[in-house]
A and B are shown apart, each in its own frame.
Chain A
């Protein structure tokens, strides 16, 4: 289990991660989403022991993580731009990882080298961005990490490999109880993969929720009136996140289930009403808007 205890990371005057406390259970896949500069990558570097926290602590299975080789041996971090030496190949890098990672599996390495469509003897530095990520993934998964931290891992991967990666991760999680933390702006991919989502903004954890709960917690409702009610606040009493009006038609984002808000909407005598769940991206936009980060505040 990963535990973050009042974790703070400051870069000079900037607080990248601010007093964050969080628990991540084993076997879960957690998506880290948030605005640019919200602290996702910094959090991953704190989780993987690259950075020393300014205050607070990261615990892995009850052990302090920072500068602790035993705890770090259970983790693997693939950053957004993984580093490889000029003459690195998958094979010669694997040779070096064997001694460093206690759970290194030769069978898994052979298996992943077969699964991913890249040459394990080719120089990684000459490969495309997507292939470099695949190389990093082969090495990462061969270490059989109990905790895998991925930063923008879907960048540069073609749809087939993306699909393959998601399948491998899900299998690994199911079989080995691996915990995965993925920071990404690709919410569509996270939606398929994650069972929990953490939303970050300006170093703070804005929201942390199961993805199923999240999906049911918000509804996108279209309400059409033959004549719009003559009231200053039509949706008073309903937990409305966002309203967009086009004539007599209202597109409303509501927090809650149909059981919560339908009676109140029906009481307004709409000509037409339909409700559907939000995509993760829509939830992200609406929550970020609530946190003061929307397109209007940026422009």
Chain B
């Protein structure tokens, strides 16, 4: 009974604080609401008007593209609410938690008959509700408008809900903790922003160093990994690693409540109430600036040796950065020397670790297993393989270690691996240059390059060794020597790593049958053609599986078209006559295109994915494979005739809307 009364009383107090904050934030909420309402209206108007203009321009009815227009409205308006909410969340949060940073506010709130923890939690709840409630209201309006136009909610727009929920919770919790530790609002904001910027950049440098110095190491394991943004609550707005961000938020809230109970309120308007976060931030800033200058000097070969340049640059960057951060946080030089011990530790640790990896003390870079120690091995052409179920490359490569067990093929793999190492530059300066390459290529929102060569070995002791080399790691663009492509044209390899055999049949967007590059017959895997498309693929797969002969002639085009991302083809490779020279049995070519969503597990991670899948980029983003259909694949040819791709003369059926002449 007492605890119920106490809980009721606490709720009453919390609601009072909430009402108070609502009063204080009314102006900000009004500004948000006006902006959101105006932008939503503008976006809706523009989407409908531009959609109808486009339709008229295409000679269609002006409402022909209304569905697409409303889809665009949903996405763009949701994204607008998303960004607006992020900005205003920061404003509300700063405003609400400032009660700890002004002596006058401290007098007011400190003397109120409410416990510190309940006050803090009430404030946090206020910040959370003020940030989310208006956002959810406007997202609801967007969805109602969409439904009124007969359009269902898109996944992208729906995901904004989750992203906002997660991001707001994480950011408010993290800022709350920063505000408890800091004495001023300015320091809280600086600390919050510093963490959000400095931590991910520092993590990028660490990842870059790992990737740059350990050639063949698959740094893709860090992609979308929570560790890359572990202290950057703004990353929670990406809507990934939800479990981590929940734990992060809960830890921040508990830590804040614990600290706020014992917080010395007289610290208001002083630099800090608790100094530990300040030390962490200063060290992080020193690390980041030190790494930037160190890696820059290392890659510029300062003092004629990369590592020496790094040491010079690291010290030159980290010490002034540490001092400046101290001046900003402490508003002066007080306690500078007492608090410099972590900086000294940082410099010693970083320089020592960099020495260890620079000199490759453990021999990672030049390791190639001895033939006698290898049980099985695998090799994947990173440019041109199909990932099933969107598995990570690291897992695919690990699994590939059991692909080939015969000695000859293992020997081929080892010799190609050795060849790559022979062509690689292991100099200190090159390693530092690689750090930049790693950082740039891995942190763009779209993919710039592919992994070219992946090797994996299962050793006799059961250990799996894997190496993934980029084309940038190797001086020569092509592998010479052993004919590794013989491995790629094996049935085992095709069954595991091509869209033709490994892709889910629903992930295949269409097939095109052609004799040359001037004309083709396309059957889409949707609407009325879907059954025909599936039938062709299934029959072709069966014929391929049943083929007991050397299948390399079927796979011959793979040797030429080892990339399709840029949509560029050599005309000659789309001419069946070329393949008849190798195998007179060759009849025609079949091109298989996978859908974009199939490449990404069906989800859009960001606006680039969405645009890629819905706009002009979709053609370029899908994966294309081309094969030869031999005359001996009679079932496949029979199906092609049956569904009307080939006429009675075994030529492309020209009087079909699926036939295209592009010559």
Residues on B with beta carbons closer than 8 Å to the beta carbon of A85: 20, 23-24
* Cβ contact within 8 Å between B113 and A69: yes
Known: A50-B107, A100-B13. A67 touches B115 (CB 8 A): yes
Q: Is B425 an interface residue (CB 8 A)?
A: no
Q: Is B19 an interface residue (CB 8 A)?
A: yes
Given contacts A51-B266, A92-B23, 8 further A-B contacts (CB under 8 A): A52-B262, A72-B111, A72-B113, A79-B108, A87-B24, A96-B19, A96-B23, A101-B113
| Contact among B20, B107, B261, B262 for A96, CB-based, below 8 A | B20
Q: Is A231 an interface residue (CB 8 A)?
A: no
Binary interface encoding of chain B residues 93-127 relative to chain A, with 1 for a CB under 8 A from any of its CBs, else 0: 00000000010111110111111101000000000
C-alpha spacing A89/B107, complex, angstroms: 18
* Cβ contact within 8 Å between B116 and A100: no
* Cβ contact within 8 Å between B110 and A96: no
A residues 29-66 in Cβ contact with B at 8 Å: 45, 48-52
* Cβ contact within 8 Å between B111 and A87: no
Best-buried of A48, A49, A82, A96 by chain B (most CB within 10 Å): A96
C-alpha spacing A75/B107, complex, angstroms: 13
Which range holds the interface residue count of chain B? 20 to 34
Known: A11-B266, A83-B102, A85-B23. A49 touches B111 (CB 8 A): yes
Taking CB as reference atom, which chain A residue is nearest B13?
A100
* Cβ contact within 8 Å between A50 and B15: no
Taking CB as reference atom, which chain A residue is nearest B107?
A79
Taking CB as reference atom, which chain A residue is nearest B106?
A50
Binary interface encoding of chain A residues 4-23 relative to chain B, with 1 for a CB under 8 A from any of its CBs, else 0: 00000001000000000000
Residues on B with beta carbons closer than 8 Å to the beta carbon of A45: 107, 110, 266
| Contact among A67, A73, A82, A98 for B107, CB-based, below 8 A | A82
Least CB distance from A248 to B in Å reads: 54
Least CB distance from B334 to A in Å reads: 11
Known: A45-B107, A51-B266, A52-B264. A70 touches B23 (CB 8 A): no
C-alpha spacing A51/B264, complex, angstroms: 7
Q: Is A218 an interface residue (CB 8 A)?
A: no
Known: A79-B104, A81-B104, A83-B105. A50 touches B111 (CB 8 A): yes
Least CB distance from A243 to B in Å reads: 42
* Cβ contact within 8 Å between A83 and B12: no
A-B pairs, 10 with minimum CB distance = A50-B110, A73-B113, A83-B104, A99-B16, A72-B113, A79-B107, A77-B111, A48-B111, A83-B108, A69-B113
| Contact among A51, A52, A72, A88 for B112, CB-based, below 8 A | A72
* Cβ contact within 8 Å between A67 and B111: no
Residues on B with beta carbons closer than 8 Å to the beta carbon of A75: 111, 113
Known: A99-B16, A100-B13. A77 touches B113 (CB 8 A): no
Taking CB as reference atom, which chain A residue is nearest B14?
A99
Q: Is A244 an interface residue (CB 8 A)?
A: no
Known: A51-B265, A95-B19. A100 touches B112 (CB 8 A): yes
Taking CB as reference atom, which chain B residue is nearest A80?
B107
Best-buried of B15, B20, B261, B262 by chain A (most CB within 10 Å): B20
C-alpha spacing A95/B118, complex, angstroms: 19
Taking CB as reference atom, which chain B residue is nearest A99?
B16
Taking CB as reference atom, which chain A residue is nearest B99?
A83
A-B contact pairs, 27 of them (CB 8 A): A45-B107, A48-B110, A49-B111, A51-B110, A52-B262, A67-B116, A69-B114, A72-B111, A77-B107, A81-B104, A82-B104, A82-B107, A83-B104, A83-B105, A83-B107, A86-B24, A87-B24, A87-B26, A87-B27, A88-B23, A96-B16, A96-B19, A96-B23, A100-B13, A100-B113, A101-B113, A102-B113
Taking CB as reference atom, which chain B residue is nearest A101?
B113
Residues on B with beta carbons closer than 8 Å to the beta carbon of A96: 16, 19-20, 23
Residues on B with beta carbons closer than 8 Å to the beta carbon of A72: 111-114
Known: A99-B12, A100-B16. A76 touches B111 (CB 8 A): yes
Least CB distance from A68 to B in Å reads: 8
